[in-house]
Amino acid sequence: MPKTGLYEVADGKLIRKKKTCPKCGDGVFLAEHKNRSSCGKCGYTEFKKKEEPKPKAKKEKAKAPDTGAPSLFEE
């Protein structure tokens, strides 16, 4: 099976156009999907991350839980 089209030479370097499966090794390429790449051999799936979702700002917890009970040591 010819593998033409899978490689591209740019600036004298061989560029692999498709991702290979880290489990199966070189020669097994991941199938490109819209938001993921998957290996048809072992089922390995790699999700494409466009942007890390920004973590929501955590609401600051009250320093002490408000129990409603009066502090005995309060002056």
Q: Write out the residues near Zn ion by the rule CB under 5 A.
A: 21, 23-24, 39, 41-42, 44
Task: Supply the minimum distance, in Å, between the C-beta of residue 53 and Zn ion.
Answer: 27
Q: Which is nearer to Zn ion, 28 or 58 (CB)?
A: 28
> To 5 degrees, how large is the angle CA 58–CA 59–CA 62?
135
Q: Which among 39, 12, 35, 36 has a CA at the least distance from the CA of 27?
A: 39
Task: Supply the minimum distance, in Å, between the C-beta of residue 2 and Zn ion.
Answer: 21
Task: Supply the minimum distance, in Å, between the C-beta of residue 42 and Zn ion.
Answer: 3
Under 8 Å between Cβ of 28 and 20? yes
